[in-house]
A and B are shown apart, each in its own frame.
Chain A
């Protein structure tokens, strides 16, 4: 087993006056193995990401990033270790795509100095890597949802962090763009990135050749291989609706797994 890049131990968190969203969550994230986080709406998937990114203050628990306690890392140091890919729908502003990708270089900038040629090069490399170099001069508010998501992934790559935290990277994308993002996540994982993502589609965990973890009632199940964890019984209990897991002939030799909600009989 490869060494883990991100380790969470006994994380506890709840918003003031609300339920305890995280109640002793522990897991480890490894390079090359994307971890897909599943759970019904409102179970705290995004909250868990926010805690990992240091945007919320834990009531208990410890986060280790590349062997160091997260709490001891400064703002820039933790941004160099871990990058965040938000949902593309969250912001729509008039920056050029290139300038948004270049923002990823922020934790590398020196005192008083702006991005230099090397930083611009890193941004160009990141955009070329995702085949969006042609979008550089377009402004963010002109881009489609899929293009925006790719720009935000490119920003995370330009950031130079080996840990990527993605909040529903496939949300509000059409099917072709979903497959495109999944292919990119697979190839980034193959390059040794450690990737944690949330999703509402259990199928994606299978497609990613990933590990999967389930979050419900403040507890986490997994991480485990999708085939072990994502059974009809477990999924049905997780979402509270009957779900069938079926295998269809697909592009790959062993076919493709689909998780299909079954409409209950009237």
Chain B
């Protein structure tokens, strides 16, 4: 009857699907591992299964493929949640971390961190600050031109994105061609092949923290869909909620970009697919975006790994699949969600 009653089974089914994909993903690659073995390796970590496999299998599952697969889930979830948040916050179905320039900004921050020889946390911090600067610039530029136009914010994001991309190009010229330049180039293409347990954990902490804030605010964001004035009359502290949303979504994006570079389209596409399934309520859109976003990026990364010896960069694949899919979704969406 109510949305909450309907949401339970949908979330359960989607979680089961993502879990299945997670286990199946270990079978992809030059050293395929059967889902049953994968499940047992994980169970054995909690002493729930007998070890009947080689050390090599355990190493591939836990140290090689595990971090990468978990990284795909984490980054997909983070970008989709950030995208859903930006879309609700600006009441604009055409924005995402990429469109608003946050990804480019964070990419520039991360690249600057690499050149300055910063440690992992420093690179993340730089990505966060530059991401915040980018979203602030986009919002300011959009407002100074026209306060409420949907497309103006998109164009402003384009401008800011182009600016940060130019800064990154400058950094590339200045970078050491032997060590720094390959690192930066990798960031720009986006990829999960260098994810380790350590970098995964470093990204998980800020993303989980930001996710918790978004979860706590989900009903306030839900009410924000009625418009700023109505939301305030419904008891939403709009300035505070807005600030927390921008900080959280940008932190998530920056952590994701620091882990695996710029991966586009997830944040734009996934929230639209999710709204087609569960409707526009943010309290349902947020957890579903995390699941579908994670599952989508894991699927894309599997495709990248499966595509042969010369791996196709993840960012190229998400664009190849995401762009036409988004066009299709946009053409089919006749609903006004905000």
A53 contacts chain B at the CB level, 8 A cutoff:
yes
Q: Which residues from chain A contact B226 at a C-beta distance below 8 Å?
A: 91, 93, 100, 103
Q: Is B233's CB under 8 angstroms from A79's CB? A: yes
Q: Which residues from chain A contact B279 at a C-beta distance below 8 Å?
A: 94-96, 99
Nearest chain B CB to A155 CB, angstrom units: 8
Q: Is A95's CB under 8 angstroms from B233's CB? A: no
Q: Is B336's CB under 8 angstroms from A90's CB? A: no
B215 contacts chain A at the CB level, 8 A cutoff:
yes
CB-nearest residue of chain B to A74: B237
A-B contact count (CB 8 A): 84
Q: Which residues from chain A contact B236 at a C-beta distance below 8 Å?
A: 75, 106
In angstroms, Cα B4 to Cα A115, docked, is 9
**Could you say which interface size class chain B belongs to?**
20 to 34
CB-nearest residue of chain B to A91: B227
Q: Is B234's CB under 8 angstroms from A93's CB? A: no
The 8 A CB mask of A136-180 against B (1 = contact, 0 = none) is 000001000000000000000001000000000000000000000
The 8 A CB mask of B214-235 against A (1 = contact, 0 = none) is 0110111011011101101111
In angstroms, Cα B279 to Cα A159, docked, is 23
B198 contacts chain A at the CB level, 8 A cutoff:
no
Nearest chain A CB to B177 CB, angstrom units: 50
B145 contacts chain A at the CB level, 8 A cutoff:
no
The 8 A CB mask of B192-232 against A (1 = contact, 0 = none) is 00000000000000000000000110111011011101101
Q: Give A207-240 interface residues, CB cut-off 8 Å to B.
A: none
A120 contacts chain B at the CB level, 8 A cutoff:
yes
Q: Is A103's CB under 8 angstroms from B3's CB? A: no
Q: Which residues from chain B contact A53 at a C-beta distance below 8 Å?
A: 229, 232-233
B283 contacts chain A at the CB level, 8 A cutoff:
yes
In angstroms, Cα B232 to Cα A77, docked, is 11
B42 contacts chain A at the CB level, 8 A cutoff:
no
The contact of B235 among A55, A107, A141, by CB within 8 Å, is: A107
A62 contacts chain B at the CB level, 8 A cutoff:
no
Q: Give A67-89 interface residues, CB cut-off 8 Å to B.
A: 74-80, 82-84, 86
The contact of B219 among A50, A90, A115, by CB within 8 Å, is: A115
In angstroms, Cα B219 to Cα A96, docked, is 16
A193 contacts chain B at the CB level, 8 A cutoff:
no
Q: Which residues from chain A contact B237 at a C-beta distance below 8 Å?
A: 74-76
The contact of A95 among B220, B225, B232, B235, by CB within 8 Å, is: B225
In angstroms, Cα B324 to Cα A200, docked, is 50
In angstroms, Cα B227 to Cα A92, docked, is 11
A98 contacts chain B at the CB level, 8 A cutoff:
yes
A54 contacts chain B at the CB level, 8 A cutoff:
yes
B337 contacts chain A at the CB level, 8 A cutoff:
yes
In angstroms, Cα B220 to Cα A98, docked, is 17
Q: Which residues from chain A contact B140 at a C-beta distance below 8 Å?
A: none
The contact of A78 among B235, B281, B336, B337, by CB within 8 Å, is: B235
Q: Which residues from chain B contact A95 at a C-beta distance below 8 Å?
A: 225, 279-281
Q: Is A75's CB under 8 angstroms from B232's CB? A: yes
Q: Is B220's CB under 8 angstroms from A114's CB? A: no
Q: Is B234's CB under 8 angstroms from A94's CB? A: no
The 8 A CB mask of B246-283 against A (1 = contact, 0 = none) is 00000000000000000000000000000000011101
Not counting A84-B230, A93-B225, A106-B220, a sample of 8 additional A-B residue pairs whose C-beta atoms are within 8 angstroms of each other reads A53-B232, A53-B233, A55-B233, A75-B237, A79-B233, A94-B279, A95-B281, A120-B2
A-B interface, 3 closest residue pairs, ranked by CB to CB distance from nearest:
A107-B235, A79-B235, A84-B233
Q: What are 27 pairs between A and B in contact, CB < 8 Å? A: A50-B229, A54-B232, A55-B232, A74-B237, A77-B235, A78-B235, A79-B234, A80-B235, A83-B233, A84-B233, A86-B230, A91-B226, A93-B225, A93-B280, A94-B280, A94-B335, A94-B336, A95-B279, A99-B279, A103-B223, A103-B234, A104-B234, A109-B219, A112-B216, A114-B219, A115-B219, A141-B335
